[in-house]
Structures are given as C-alpha cells and as structure tokens.
Structure 1
C-alpha cells in the first residue's frame, strides 16, 4: 500500500511554505523588505533559530536576499525573468514596443474581465482607491504622479484577477516599462488632451469593474490599450518628423 508514516512538519518548513505562498500570491512583492527578525519571529510564533533556518533556505533558493545593514528582501525578479541580451533587443527594436502593447491588450482585457467576476469587495475597493488618486493627480501640472498611478491602477486590476501566472508575468512586463525599455510612460501624459482621454478610459474600466460587468470591463480595457497603441504610433511619427525637420533647418541655415 502506498502509505508513508506521517511526520510533523518542522517549524522552519512551515515558515518557508508561508513565505513562499506570500511571494507566489503577490502579497510580498519584489524588492520588499521583510520585518526584522525579532518582529517576524513573534508574528509567526516561531523561535528565531527556526526563522533563520527558513530564511537561509529561501535565500539559497533565490527567493530572498540579505543586504548588509538593511535587512532581508524579496529578490528583484526583472533580470532573472529576461536576460540582459533580450532586454537590449526589446529596447533597440521598435516592433517590440507594439508587440508589447498587443500582448498587454490581450492580457489586460482578460484581467479586467476576471477582476469583475472574481475580485473580492476589498479588491474592488483597492482599484477604486487607486483611481481616485489618479483623479487627484490629474489636476497637477507635472504628470509624473499620474503616470506612476497608471501602472499601479493596472496592476491592482491584475491582482484582483486572482491568477498568479498572469500576476507575475505582468509584473515583469511593468518592470520593463518602468525601466524605460519600451517607452517613456510620462510621454503618454505629456499633452493635456491625451491625459484627459486616458483618465476617462481608466474611469470606464473602473466603473465596469465596480459594477461587476465583466464584458464591459474587458471591452473598456482593450479599447484603452488600442488607444495607447495609436498614441505611441503618433508620438513616434512626430519624433521622426521632428528629426527630419531639424535636418532641413540645419541645411537651410547652411545655405545662408
């Protein structure tokens, strides 16, 4: 018979499993600092030696890292998700930008649909709270805060979809975006008219999710990413036109 003796799980393994799940479910984020050893041991109800054993195992597996004088952190996953060579290819080839937007349109449409269906009431409160912050930031002349909240809004929806594969995939995608690999997010908010349209699109996504209208939420998210693709195309065309115009201007000055 395929039965084995039941063994009590070591406390250290219980700690390992709990931290694993927190990372897997996105509750502990890349780069996030864990509480101090004393505080964490008290919270989890284990001895400090058991906690140290668990931390050492998670460090050995590349999930946690110790920084001298700073504490223990969840590892940053950007470089391990994509090689530097591949990141450089993304950055240097324009077609990657539009494939990125197309990929996001498909996944974010699905995420918005799932958030409307499966998100808890608290998930929806988080999404709405981030959107309200976007509304407040919209009144500022500098678009930096609004651009940062844009990413936070979309990640809140992805978290509310409760699909851990989608969550970690899209976090890696947003890490690349934050690093400026695909495009400068603040360029999207450079013009006041564009900022207004983007805010209304985010409002439509939020309202559909709050109403738990999954079909409308998906359509709103997909329409938003289609608009982003159009704006990016226009911005790139404008940059090229400006480059040509500057060459023409320099040539004209040389003829004087």
Structure 2
C-alpha cells in the first residue's frame, strides 16, 4: 500500500514538472529528496511505473516518461463500440480534430526520411488495390495515416491515433473495407491521399490541414451511405423472401 501511495505521489511530481513522453526523469537522488523517501523506496516505485508502462528504464541513462499505452486509451471505449457500432461517428469526429493537426504538424516537421516513407506508401496503396483485397486496402490506408502522425513528431498524438484506428477496426471493419469495393470511391480516396501527402512534402501546413479535413469528411459521408444502404437492404430483405406455402 505504501509503495502504491509513493507511485501515486511520483506520478503527481512528474505531472507538476510538465514532463512529456520521451523526457528524462530527474536523477534518483533529486526525486528521492523531493519526495522525502529513501532511494531504495523510490526505486521500488519506479519499478512499478516501469511495469505499468508509464516509464522506461534505460541502463546507464536513467528513466524516461512513456506515452500512455494503447490499452489505457482504447479499453474503456472498446466495450461501448462493440455494443453500439454507430459510435464510429464519434470516433470520426475526433479523427477530424487529431488528423488535421497531425497533417499541419507533419508539413512543418517532416524529415526527408518521413517524406520518403509517405511517398512509398502512396505507391504501395495503388499496388495493394490492384491485388483486389479490400481488407489489405483498409490496412494500407490506416498505415498511411499513421505515417503522417509519425511525421508530426508528436508521440502523444501518434498513440491516440493508433487507439482510434484500433477502435474503428474492431467495430466497423466491414464498412471500411466496403469503401474500396466501389471504383469511384477508391479513385477519390487516391486523389485525396496524394493531395494530402503532396501538401505535407511541400511544407504547406494550411493546405495539409485542409486536405486532411476534406478527406475525412468524404470518408465519413461515404461510411454513412454504406450504413444507410445496408440498413435499407435489411428492411427490404423480408419482402424479398419467397412466401411460404400455407400449411
């Protein structure tokens, strides 16, 4: 119990210091002095935070703050999404906020290596589509968006987006895959992806933000049409069944 209390106090100290994921924690002697505990007790608390994934111990270098694990972000929402997949709309609204910012930051921060990975993924998406697998199409699309998040060089943003993609994959993977079975939809998605990556590689933050919003609004509108079409077919299905012979 005492160790749990110390871990809580240590996390509070980390928050007060304004540390971000990837930042190095102060030296053990400094932390122990601030908390008024022995270094042995502090090491136990640090070990507990390392076990939970909150900090990472690097031999010879110290302890570093880590971003929240995906399970911490996704777990509270996964059950809700399974019970009512229509919450994908909420997820898309959050994607709109996060991905517009990710695109803008990527346009400002992307390295040459980031740009090369984005360009390669654009080409790979077309190769995947030619293979005719809607599932692989959806996976490749998600990979492109996560590469953009990586190019933003904001670790928290990247982890949050990974969590959102996991939620979508778990709840409406069937609908996502249907986007790629419509030739006109794929062509539009491909043009939007190229415009988005083009703005990022050209270092145009505002254009990248607009391209991301245009793309996500199109995806959301298309998903709504897919959902409406499936609901309509479900309503019609009883009337399409042959009438049973009277007993």
Would the TM-score normalized by the shorter structure come out above 0.5?
Answer: yes
Partner of 1:80: 72
CA distance in 2, matches of 1:93, 1:226: 22
User: Which residue is 2:53 aligned to?
Assistant: 63
Corresponding residue for 2:145?
A: 154
Deviation at 1:138, TM superposition (A): 2.4
Match of 2:130 in 1: 139
- Quick one: distance in 2 between partners of 1:153 and 1:58? 35
What is the rounded CA distance, in whole Å, between the counterparts of 1:183 and 1:132 in structure 2?
A: 23
**Correspondence for 1:191 among 169, 182, 189:** 182
How far did 1:60 drift?
5.4
1:253 is paired with a residue whose SS is coil
Gaps of 5+ in 1: 1-23, 26-55, 65-75
Q: Pick which of 95-104 and 223-232 moved more.
A: 95-104
Check the 8 A contact 1:91/1:182 in 2, yes or no.
no
Distance in 2 of aligned mates of 1:145 and 1:222: 24
Correspondence for 2:82 among 84, 91, 107 = 91
Q: TM-score, normalised by structure 2?
A: 0.69
- Structure 1 length normalisation: TM-score? 0.67
CA distance in 2, matches of 1:114, 1:203: 17
Please give the root-mean-square deviation of Cα atoms over the aligned residues, in Å.
2.9
Q: How many equivalent pairs are there?
A: 194
Q: What CA deviation, in whole Å up to 9, does each residue of 1:95-154 have, x standing for no partner? A: 411111111011111111110011112111111111111122222222232221101100
Deviation at 1:59, TM superposition (A): 8.9
Please list, as runs of the form range in 1=range in 2, the aligned pairs for 1:193-232 lying within 5 A after superposition.
Answer: 193-232=184-223
Paired residues for 1:167-182 under 5 Å: 167-178=158-169, 180-182=170-172
Q: Deviations over 1:218-240 (max 9, x none)?
A: 11111111011111110110011
3-state SS in 2 of match to 1:162 = coil
Are the aligned partners of 2:102 and 2:152 in contact in 1 as well (CA < 8 Å)? Answer: yes
Q: Distance in 1 between matches of 2:202 and 2:243?
A: 60
Preserved CA contact (<8 Å) 2:70 2:160: no
Matched, 1:235 2:226: yes
Over 3 Å counting, the alpha-carbon distance change for 1:58 and 1:119 in structure 2 is farther
Cα shift readout 1:28-52 (whole Å, capped 9, x = no counterpart): xxxxxxxxxxxxxxxxxxxxxxxxx
Would you say the 8 A contact 2:146–2:162 is kept in 1? yes
Q: If each structure's helix is expressed as a fraction of its own residues, which one has the higher value?
A: 2
Contact 1:143 1:189 in 2 (8 A): yes
* Deviation, structure 1 residue 211: 1.1
Shift of the 106–59 alpha-carbon distance from structure 1 to 2, 3 Å rule, reads closer
CA distance, structure 2, for counterparts of residue 216 and residue 205 of structure 1: 8
Cα shift at 1:79:
3.2
Q: Which moved more, 1:210-219 or 1:185-194?
A: 185-194
